[in-house]
Structure 1
Amino acid sequence: MVKELIINSAPGGVTIALVQDKQLVELNKEQINNNYAVGDIYLGRIKKIMPGLNAAFVDVGYEKDAFLHYLDLGPQVQSLLKLTRQARNGNFTDYLLSSFKREEDIDKSGKISTILSKDLLLPVQIAKEPISTKGPRLSSDLSIAGRFVVLVPFSDVISISKKIKSNTERTRLRKIVEGIKPKGFGIIIRTVSEKKGVAEIQKDILDLVSKWETLMKKIPKTGPAKRILGEMGRTSTILRDILNADFTHVYVDDPALFEEVKSYVHEISPEMESIVKLYKGKEPIFEHFGLEKQIKASFGKTVNLAGGAYLVIEHTEALHVIDVNSGNRTANPENQEENALQVNKEAAKEIARQLRLRDMGGIVVIDFIDMHKAPNRKELFDFLKTEMSHDRAKHTILPPSKFGLVQITRQRVRPEMNIVTSEKCPTCGGTGEIKASIVLIDDIENNLNYILNEQAEKGITLAVHPYVEAFIKRGFLSKQVKWFFKYGQWVKVKGITSYHLTEFAFMNNKEEEIKL
């Protein structure tokens, strides 16, 4: 699997595309001055205690108060409060917690009113960015993420990623961390630490401890509702979390950002510094790598699949609904059950990509095509789980219900990616909207392939808007010529001025329209 990262810098922010085998699988946007990114730590001021919700509203400087539930306080919140008071009073200098006396863990079923009070100052971490009309979701169970490990204050526990399967490797990593872990801190060993040496892991831990010291030194000087420690930029965070030997290129179109990315890659993985390239082409970087068309084709209400099936994706306030449709093309008309399984598996693969691409979170309900055989339903369920295993977001997949619905819950920590996929119609003065013209030729070719190969029609005429006719006939190796070499027959192209820009139709040799 070949992976590439394409980074487009613009005045409004940075857009990062993760590409696997030339297919877009993730799209991330980093806004300039995004002060409420996941991982940022603020000195929050408790604004209101809500006993009925067992939660508190916290002022972190956002226009809406942030939400902190009792279960997100963390077992050592009393130790954090104690340390904050000492630091604010200037009575604490042991930033490494080696001599700090921890408080007792709080009761898991306790009440928030016994822990927090109005106007109390408490360091909090952004767990979910502001989404829709809601403010940020907070946690006071602080952690600082690095390349190979995560540092957890007020803990002595060493945890290892479940994705590291080898018992020998797990034992080796545990012994390494036990020998270098600072007192008073827990460590979570990340998946990318597999097969890494002592020096790399130790450097990562030392960097995180240095960040913790910076955090503690800032607490006395930081005002309420101000940021104490910021997470890295979205670009660096993605590189930190996913960069591995599978990556062949990281392309950046901005010289300043290129130097920043190259410097960070050199710091975390020096042997991969050479894969970072500065894109100097004249056309936009996403256009050059064919991503603009993929973005337009992948977002929107309807998503077409290669075999003629399609997905319909609807969004509501409470959940996302995905309907799988087989369309008008079937691979095997004799076996509907087998057809349903093939379409469902094709849809499952695309759905797993769509969830990552749009960063859809919360509850997702999928209405697959009905299948009557239990082994086929299990095969689909297992296939979907395998496809979703590449997703870095936490998720749970339930088996198909008796109504044939599959339910997925997926972690939502950022607003969903939303790309406008329609363009203003040039023939109606902007009063309506049409499908993006960038994918028009793909639609024409898909239908042409169906008519010529599956319906075996001869003497086809394609009727289109004159602008589209000119595009198809343009150049020595025009689309029309390429179709001749591909299908072995000449396809006439006829311009009709009454057609709107994206309208097209196919005529047979009797000048009758072929119904699709």
Structure 2
Amino acid sequence: MIKELIIDSSPNGATIALLQDRQLVELHKEQITNNYTVGDIYLGRIKKIMPSLNAAFVDVGYEKDAFLHYLDLGPQVQSLLKLTKQVRSGGYQSKLLDNFKPEADINKGGKISDVLLKGALIPVQIAKEPISTKGPRLSSDLSIAGRYVVLVPFSEVISISKKIKSNTERTRLRKVVESIKPKHFGVIIRTVSEGKGVQELQKDLLDLISKWETFVTKLHGTEPSKKVLGEIGRTSTILRDILNPDFQHIYVNEQSMYEEVRSYIHEISPDLEGIVRLHKHKEPLFEHHGVDKQIKSTFGKTVNLAGGAYLVIEHTEALHVIDVNSGNRTANKENQEENAYQVNKEAAKEIARQLRLRDMGGIVVVDFIDMHKPTNRKELFDYLKAQMADDRAKHTILPPSKFGLIQITRQRVRPEMNIVTSEVCPACGGTGSIRPTVLLIDDIENNFNYILEEQNEKNITLCVHPYIEAYIKKGLYTRQMKWYFKYNQWIRIKSNPAYQITEFKFFSAKDEEIKL
């Protein structure tokens, strides 16, 4: 299986596409304006205790207070509260926990009012980003994730990923970590640690200890509701969690992002540093690798399958519903059961991909085509589980109900990826009529007068449909040359086949769109 990562960087953030055998399977958007990332640690202030919910609402600077349930406090929350109080009062000078005396674990069936008080300060970690009208979901069971291990303060437990099956390897990893972990810290050993040496594990653990020391240092002076320790960027998080020798290429379209990614890979996996490539083609990165076309064909209410069948995907506040239809697929009347089985298998493969691609979370109900043979229903259920085995989000799949429905629950930690694929015609604005095409160049020049002379912009780029680009550049004395003499500066012309024939946009020297 060939894996590729395509990172399209822009001034507003980055869009990250994961391809397997050239097929888009995951799409992530990292926006600079998104201040709440899963893994960030804030110094929260308790705003309200809700005994009926056994939960508290916490101020972490978001417009709506974040939600902290009793079960998300973590057993060592009393130790965390004690450390916070001592550090902020200046009574605890050490950055590690060697000289710290942990408190007893809280009762799993206890009440939040016995642990937290209104107005109290508590470090909390973002467990779910703000979704829809809800604020962030929090946890005070802090952990700091690395590539090979996860550091858990106030614990002595060493946990090992269940995906590491070899008892010999599990014993080796446990002994290695026991010999290097600091006092009063627990460690979770991740799947990618399998086969790694002491040096690699120790380096990763030391990096995490350094982050903990930074957290303790900042905790002393951080204002309530402010961030104390930030998770690494979305791009680096994805690389940390999924990078393996199966990756063939990582393409980046911007120099600083290229250097950042290359530097990060050099730290976590130096042998893969050479797979990072800087995109230098004139064609946009996503267009060059066919990602744009896949996005347009994959998102939306209806998703077509190769054999003529299709999926209809509906979203509600409570759940997602996916209906499988055979479409115009030719069915053998004598073997409708086999036809239904083949369509359902094809649909199951695409559904597993759609859940990852759209990052659909919560409850998903799938209405497959009815099958009468129990063996076929069992095989479809097993096939769907196998297709979802690579999904990194926690999920549970229930066997088919007597109505033929399969229910899936999937972890939701950030808003669902939603891309509108239907477009309002930029030429007519949805009215069905456009300005005369003979006036197009006049419209462009009128905007030039405003942008270049009134706004005094320099080094701008005009982006148009390829036909219009050819018209502007045709002949010996081109219209582009005329503009050069008229405005006393060279205007770059760039084409984009996704534009409508009369659509045009202007971009500044920093490649930011100039809004008119």
TM-score by length of 1: 0.83
Partners of 1:393 and 1:429 lie apart in 2 by 40
Question: Can you give the 5+ residue segments of structure 2 that lack an aligned partner in the other structure?
Answer: 433-466, 468-500, 502-516
The amino acid that maps onto 1:235 is: T
Query: 2:49 is aligned with what amino acid?
Result: I
Find the counterpart in structure 2 of residue 185 from structure 1.
185
Retained in 2: the 8 A contact 1:252–1:258? yes
Q: 2: CA distance between counterparts of 1:368 and 1:290?
A: 30
Amino acid at match of 2:253: D
Does the C-alpha gap of structure 1 residues 103 and 23 become closer, same or farther in structure 2, counting only changes over 3 Å? same
- From the superposition, tell whether residues 426 and 73 of structure 1 become closer, same or farther in structure 2 (CA, over 3 Å): closer
1:48-96 Cα distance to aligned partner (Å, 9 max, x none): 0011100000000011100000000000000000000000010112222
Match of 1:473 in 2: none
Q: Match of 1:164, SS? A: coil
Q: Secondary structure at the match of 2:101?
A: coil
Aligned equivalent of 1:222: 222
Equivalent residue for 2:416?
416
Distance in 2, Cα, partners of 1:312 & 1:190: 37
Q: What is the deviation of 1:380?
A: 0.3
Structure 2 CA distance for aligned equivalents of residues 169 and 388 of structure 1: 26
Q: What is the rounded CA distance, in whole Å, between the counterparts of 2:32 and 2:7 in structure 1?
A: 15
Q: For the residues of structure 2 that align with 1:400 and 1:428, how far apart are their CA atoms?
A: 48
Aligned to 2:6: 6
Question: Which residue of structure 1 aligns with residue 270 of structure 2?
Answer: 270
1:286 — aligned with what? 286
How far is 1:165 from its partner? Answer: 1.5
- Please list the CA deviations of residues 226-249 of structure 1 after superposition, one character each: whole Å capped at 9, or x if unmatched: 000000000000000000000010
Q: Deviation string for 1:249-280 (max 9, x for gaps)?
A: 00000100000000000010001100001001
SS of aligned partner of 1:393:
coil
- What is the match of residue 96 of structure 2? 96
Percent of aligned pairs sharing the same letter? 79
Task: Tell me, in whole angstroms, the C-alpha distance in 1 between the residues paired with 2:428 and 2:334.
Answer: 45
What is the one-letter code of the residue matched to 1:316?
T
RMSD of the alignment, in Å? 1.4
The 5-angstrom pairing of residues 263-412 of structure 1 reads 263-330=263-330, 332-412=332-412
Q: Distance in 2 between matches of 1:309 and 1:394?
A: 28
In the alignment, the residues of structure 2 paired with residue 431 and residue 54 of structure 1 have an alpha-carbon distance, to the nearest angstrom, of 53
On the 8 A contact 1:399/1:406 being kept in 2, the answer is yes
For 1:68 and 1:424, the matched residues in 2 are separated by: 42
2:362 alignment partner AA: G
Answering whether residue 165 of structure 2 is matched by residue 168 of structure 1, we say no
Which aligned pairs between 1:457-496 and structure 2 lie closer than 5 A? none
The Cα of 1:431 is off from its aligned counterpart by 4.4
Given the alignment of the two structures, is residue 77 of structure 1 paired with residue 56 of structure 2, yes or no?
A: no
Q: Secondary structure at the residue paired with 1:28?
A: strand
Q: Indicate the residue corresponding to 2:493 in structure 1.
A: none
Q: List aligned pairs for 1:115-264, cutoff 5 A.
A: 115-264=115-264
2:193 and 2:183 mapped to 1: Cα distance? 21
Code of the aligned partner of 2:88:
R
Tell me which amino acid in the other structure corresponds to 1:352.
A
**2:27 corresponds to:** 27
Letter in 2 for 1:394: K
CA contact (8 A) 1:125 1:142 kept: yes
What is the letter of the counterpart of residue 322 of structure 2?
I
Q: Deviations over 1:453-509 (max 9, x none)?
A: xxxxxxxxxxxxxx9xxxxxxxxxxxxxxxxxxxxxxxxxxxxxxxxx9xxxxxxxx
Q: Deviations over 1:308-339 (max 9, x none)?
A: 00000000000000000000213544311111
CA distance in 1, matches of 2:11, 2:331: 47
Deviant stretches of 4+, over 3 Å: 425-429
Shift of 1:424: 2.0
Q: Deviations over 1:411-452 (max 9, x none)?
A: 0000000111011247975148xxxxxxxxxxxxxxxxxxxx
Residues 88, 219 of structure 1: 8 Å contact kept: yes
Partner of 2:512: none
Conserved 8 A contact 1:46-1:56: yes
Looking at structure 1, the residues matched to 428 and 254 of structure 2 have their Cα atoms a distance apart, in angstroms, of 38
- Rounded Cα–Cα distance in structure 2 between residues aligned with 1:142 and 1:411: 19
Distance across 2 between alignment mates of 1:429 and 1:27: 29
SS in 2 for 1:47: strand
3-state DSSP class of the match of 1:207?
helix
- Secondary structure (helix, strand or coil) at the match of 2:413 reads coil
Map of 1:475 onto structure 2? none
SS in 2 for 1:334: helix
Q: Structure 1: any 5+ residue segments left out of the alignment?
A: 433-466, 468-500, 502-516
The aligned residue for residue 61 of structure 1 is 61
- Please say if residues 424 and 431 of structure 1, whose CA atoms lie closer than 8 Å, have aligned partners that are also in contact: no
In structure 2, C-alpha distance between the alignment counterparts of 1:431 and 1:53, rounded to whole Å: 51
Aligned-partner SS, 1:162: coil
Distance 2:42 2:426 in 1: 49
Tell me which residue corresponds to 2:439: none
Distance 1:348 1:20 in 2: 17
Letter in 2 for 1:285: L
Task: State the Cα distance separating 1:382 from its structure 2 match.
Answer: 0.2
AA aligned to 1:368 is: F
Structure 1 residue matching 2:221: 3-state secondary structure: coil
Measured after TM superposition, the shift of residue 2 of structure 1 is 0.5
CA separation in 2, counterparts of 1:427 and 1:144? 50
**Inter-partner Cα distance in structure 2 for 1:99 and 1:230:** 26
Shift of 1:108: 0.5
Q: Deviations over 1:117-152 (max 9, x none)?
A: 111000000000000000000000000000000000
Cα distance in 2 for partners of 1:185, 1:329 equals: 58
Query: Secondary structure at the residue paired with 1:220?
Result: helix
